[in-house]
Amino acid sequence: MSATRIDCDICIVGGGPAGLSAALAAAKAGATVHLLDLFERPGGQYFMQPAAGAHGPARRQIAAGGRLIAAARAAGVTVHENAEVFGAYADPVIYARVGESALTLRPKAVVIATGAHDRVAPFPGWTLPGVMTPGAGQRLAKLHGTLPGRRVVLAGCGPFLMVVAGQLRAAGCDVLRVVEATPSPRALLAGIARHPARWGEALRLLTPVAPLAGRFRFGAVVTAAAGDDHVRSVTIARLGADGLPDERARETIADVDALLVGHGFRPSIEVPRLLGCAIDFDQDAGGHHLRIDRATGATSVPGIFAAGEVTGVAGARPALAAGTIAGLAAARHAGFAAGKGDERALARALDFALMLRRAYRVPYRALGRLPRPETVLCRCEEIDAATVAAAHADGARDAAGIKLWTRAGMGPCQGRGCGFGLGLQLAETAGLDPAAFGANPSRFPARPVPLSVVADALAAGEDGA
């Protein structure tokens, strides 16, 4: 048996901006804080820490993240790397796997800062090698110095595309096209103009992509990728006034060796759902996200707090401010005298995030129309659109019904990858409401984990263990 049991004040799940700031704030208030992070080094997608340290196009961000991690450690936070949280009960108790060992935490309060994952929608050719998410492409470049390809097309929706475009260009990729679904950058530029405090940041974002200006295609979507054993060409189409791709306004981009496509992020709600935390649905905030009290980060479950993208996708700045608020509230819950954090700073950061959200228009209708009958919607179980349509014709009307009758969402990812696309396709082809369509509810374990580790972790968590 190989299990470590830790009784502590506060457990933070996730080591991105929200989790790190929550950990720092709680530790400064005097609490013993343990932070669990999935990766080799904390930082999350935003503060990702390459082994080589802070250089390259993202060096400012890497350095800022490094300082936050160092501050948290200096304040006494224990960071557990490579810790995959697979279970959580409202005792509260958190179960994680670290390699082949079990790690069980019995804290007084929990801060959920699990972040978000890339939001993808299926289209013909999306399962070809060389097609990946912008987040995955950025991870390759930032962490490993590997280019996702030499001749790259970036597509989707949101400011993150520009960030990745600039970084990939700086890393030496030939960025052939940046295909942004939003009709024009006017709303974005006008929004930035209203926030002078963010002009410096905007300039740092826009400068690296300025040389790519001629390669942007606004108001368009990728309708297909093609290639034999690898993506070779990408077809894009302009969006018509009805929000659907105009097949007459098509362009095919040849000699492509990587297509990075994503439409924002989905909050990673699996672990807090195990705890029973209530969720809300807002497609523009990533879909299902945790419901919290913004003043404290409190979820619907006593002792469970949350901050960052898992409470609705808004970016790193609000996550940092909300993390501090949630960390302090968790410390107060654990019995420490702690302040309340700067709610006005959070409000300002959220204000800017909301402007960004409104400046972009995710082409939900178009995405729901892209799959052809033979297009795979669920990659784990290889379920195509025709199979899903047949289940709908037989009376399946929600995520649970589609899953039971087709196996879509029953594989290792448990619907994390395919849920967005399934919902869009059924909204568009069958008129189902994406909110009512629902999500595949997460159940223990939140991710696949060896039986021996499950048994060790649960045994270690028992009272008197």
User: What is the C-alpha radius of gyration for the chain, rounded to an integer number of angstroms?
Assistant: 22
* Among residues 340, 412, 433, 465, the one that binds another protein under rule CB under 8 A: 412
Dist. CA 179–CA 109, nearest whole Å: 43
Give yes or no for residue 99 binding another protein (CB under 8 A): no
Do 266 and 300 touch, CB atoms closer than 8 A?
A: no
Cis peptide before 92 (omega within 30 of 0): yes
* Among residues 43, 264, 327, 461, the one that binds another protein under rule CB under 8 A: 461
Give yes or no for residue 449 binding another protein (CB under 8 A): yes
| Candidate segments 6-14, 287-295, 366-374, 448-456, binder of another protein by CB under 8 A | 448-456
* Among residues 128, 345, 410, 430, the one that binds another protein under rule CB under 8 A: 410
Angle at 218 between CA 60 and CA 362, to 5 degrees: 80
Restricting to residues 367-386, which ones interact with another protein according to CB under 8 A? 381
Q: What is the DSSP letter of 331?
A: H
Q: What is the DSSP letter of 339?
A: -
Name the 3-class secondary structure at 250: strand
Least separation, in Å, of the C-beta of 414 and another protein? Answer: 7
* Residue 207: Cβ-neighbour burial (10 angstroms; 0-12, 13-18, 19+): exposed
Residue type, 172: G
| Candidate segments 33-41, 178-186, 290-298, 446-454, binder of another protein by CB under 8 A | 446-454
Query: Residue 125: phi, psi to the nearest 5?
Result: 95, 0
Least separation, in Å, of the C-beta of 387 and another protein? Answer: 12
Nearest to 158 by CA among 288, 60, 47, 265: 265
* Among residues 398, 429, 430, 435, the one that binds another protein under rule CB under 8 A: 398
Dist. CA 9–CA 105, nearest whole Å: 10
In this structure, how many other beta carbons lie within 10 angstroms of the beta carbon of residue 185? 17
| Candidate segments 156-164, 244-252, 356-364, 437-445, binder of another protein by CB under 8 A | 437-445
Size of interface with another protein, in residues (CB under 8 A): 32
Give yes or no for residue 270 binding another protein (CB under 8 A): no
Give yes or no for residue 400 binding another protein (CB under 8 A): yes
Residue type, 186: R
Give yes or no for residue 256 binding another protein (CB under 8 A): no
Measured from the CB atom, the residue of 274 and 314 that comes closer to another protein is 274
* Among residues 407, 429, 430, 435, the one that binds another protein under rule CB under 8 A: 407
Residues of this chain that interact with another protein (CB under 8 A) are 89, 274, 276, 381, 391, 394-398, 400-401, 404-405, 407, 410, 412, 414, 443-445, 448-452, 454-455, 458-459, 461-462
